Amino acid sequence: MRANEYLDRKIETATAKETASMQESLLARQLDYLFARSEFYREKFHAAGVRRKDFRRLRDVARFPFTTKEELRASQSAHPPLGRHIAADWRDVIRIHSSTGTTGKPSFVGITRRDAKVWTRLMARSFYTQGLRKTDVVVHAAGLTLFVAGLTSKDAIESIGAVFVPLGTGASEKALSMIPLLSVNAIHCTPSYAAYFADFVRDAGINPRELGLKKVFCGAEPGAGIPAVRDKLEQDWGARVTEGLGNADMAPIIFSECPEQSGMHFNGPDAVVAEIVDPETGESLPHETGVAGELAYSSLQRECVPLLRFRTRDRVQVLGTSCACGRTGFKLRCIGRTDDMLIVLGVNVFPSAIKDVVSSFYPATTGEIQIVLDKPGPGVAPPLKVVAECRAEPAAAAALKSAIERKIKATLSISASVVPVPAGALPHYEMKGQLVKKTYEDEA
């Protein structure tokens, strides 16, 4: 193993025992802090009948109650601006990030100087795992302002010594001219934008490969880990495409892929405990290959917004527990969000899984899809209506349509009705893609 393969060798290659022992002592300290500083948690623990002394071993975390996004929203509405779950003094807060949730109301996350330091190191480790080095010039083509992975990416990328180019969103024209001028060789963006920008460059009469991007760092939505989507992006750009996963309330990037591209490593054992829980029963599941469930995070060193067993609504599957790169953090892929899940005759299906199947027909399909719902989900009466961009001649379109439908049935065990549309007919998104189109009136 070469010396420059890890940013934090000791943490990244620790044995399971070493990691558990580190997390145990950090979590004990974080619990002391919660009991001392957080009225929000003292009340929750009291209601659940758990005491500080109930935590002795790492597995005891499962004796403590979960925290949900709804609770954080309610806490923030009742006690503006940051909520009753803020555990630091206002004078120690140095920055506020926010996310606009599905309800449209912003949700604020504050950080102290120490929180920022922990985030920066965790994110730097994640970028480093993805192959970022100090010789790289990275254009950040994603949100920069309130977005939790904006300024924090700047801190992390600069801390490695790489060059950070703060482009932001909606600036494809500028990106096209600046990338060659600055010898940019890496981009940080959503997978939707990586696909959108490739089309944009082609429309300008340039082969995307000529821009010389060699590293595409994706995040903020599933996509880059979907094999067919990744293959297409790698073909478009002639670059290695890797993805990261984080959470606006916990840390901007917590998992990221190494060059083996076989799932995202858990990179933050010193910052977060990452449990995989059964979404229905709440049971904590083992980190074993094949195990699937919802991610729940507990912070280990947080000052402003320490959270315990925070339910992310991200559905993940463990892909492995060892890796050729030598990192010992378990590897997973994100299957989708609980909120996006559809149930077709009792079978759970995520829109990203449909996109994966349709993309596997590339170049006969472009990979762009839209699932059309005419009634509120998650239950959908079969067949599931899937609009897919196809390049087939009219004569071959019917055969392609039924081939895709057969593959969806064989892979996902649901019936779908595929509606082929010409390439470019579906909206292309610069930020996060929208895989579901609702044709009914939303109640909210």
Q: Which residues bind Zn ion (CB under 5 A)?
A: 258, 260, 323, 325, 327
Least distance CB 388 / Zn ion (angstroms) = 33
Least distance CB 213 / Zn ion (angstroms) = 22
Least distance CB 122 / Zn ion (angstroms) = 17
Task: Choose between 123 and 305: whose C-beta lies nearer to Zn ion.
Answer: 123
Backbone angles phi, psi at 209, to 5 degrees: -60, -30
Least distance CB 267 / Zn ion (angstroms) = 10
Least distance CB 320 / Zn ion (angstroms) = 8
Task: Choose between 160 and 264: whose C-beta lies nearer to Zn ion.
Answer: 264
Task: Choose between 244 and 306: whose C-beta lies nearer to Zn ion.
Answer: 244
Task: Choose between 164 and 266: whose C-beta lies nearer to Zn ion.
Answer: 266
Query: Please, which residues have CB within 8 angstroms of residue 190's CB and are 6 or more apart in sequence?
Result: 142, 218, 219, 220, 221, 223, 431, 432, 433
Task: Choose between 324 and 444: whose C-beta lies nearer to Zn ion.
Answer: 324
Task: Choose between 199 and 260: whose C-beta lies nearer to Zn ion.
Answer: 260
Least distance CB 339 / Zn ion (angstroms) = 30
Least distance CB 58 / Zn ion (angstroms) = 23
> Bridge-partner residues for 99, per DSSP?
107
Least distance CB 300 / Zn ion (angstroms) = 22
Task: Choose between 7 and 305: whose C-beta lies nearer to Zn ion.
Answer: 7
Task: Choose between 112 and 130: whose C-beta lies nearer to Zn ion.
Answer: 130
Cα 138 to Cα 67: distance, rounded to the nearest angstrom: 36
- In Å, how far from its chain's centre is CA 297? 13
Own/partner contacts of 76-82, CB < 8 Å, gap of 24 or more, are: 76/107, 76/108, 81/108, 82/108, 82/110, 82/304, 82/305
* Cβ(132)–Cβ(214) below 8 Å: no
| Helix 227-237, helix 351-359: angle, nearest 10 | 50
